[in-house]
Amino acid sequence: MFKTRGHDQLIEVPLNNQYYMSMPLEIIYQDEYIIAVNKPQALLSVPGLGPDKQDCLISRLEKFIPEAKVVHRLDCYTSGIMLFAKGIEMQRALSRIFHDRKIHKQYVAVVRHWFDENEGVIKFPMRCDIDNRPHQIVDYEHGKSAITYWEILQRKDHMVRLLLKPETGRTHQLRVHCAAMGHPIIGDGLYGNDGVKQPRMLLHAENLAFIHPVTSEEMDLSARCEF
């Protein structure tokens, strides 16, 4: 069943995960070349290893749009906007945009504390911890360049709301960078579990801006943040 609201479409998809008895796929934008979806938190972007990790965003989307192709990923516990291509040629075109850093990404995150400044940049090189996958670590000798710009959105009730703008796209980059600054993202059990149970990790991919590879239109797509 489709529920259409302008460019937004809500697709009712049957779920295997009992934790989410009803979780519609929210299509933010769609044309004949691309699809943008608001990924729920706690849902894999692509299939994982093992039969219990086959339910994911792309598999659900393919049930309604068989030609949908993955372009990039979000962590399982990160919500927000994901861009998909329709067909292999468009997948190559969009992948090139990501590779060439011609797409601008913005995330919202909440941490318990931050610094007095209102904006800044984090430049901690990163690599995978090969002895503790999928954990990523800061490594100044062997790590790859990782750059995140940040701005303060709000300071309230001993918590700080951040706007994070990654220039690079390393695995777990925002989570590692916040933790390396001494202020991990709230709810991040991998890099900053403070012993306080949280319903979710407070990290959301809010916005993607890029030039449409076919129409040359300036695209500015946003996914609502629920926290």
Active-site annotation, residues: 75
Contacts of 216 (CB under 8 A, 6+ apart): none
- The CA-atom distances, in angstroms, between 55 and each of 20, 49, 63 are 12, 11, 12
Tell me if residue 139 falls in helix, strand or coil. coil
Q: Which three-class secondary structure string do you get for 143-186? A: CECCCEEEEEEEEECCEEEEEEEECCCCCCHHHHHHHHCCCCEC
- For residues 98 and 74, the answer to whether their CB atoms sit within 8 Å is no
Amino acid residing at 106: Q
Cα dihedral sign, 169-107-227-25 = negative
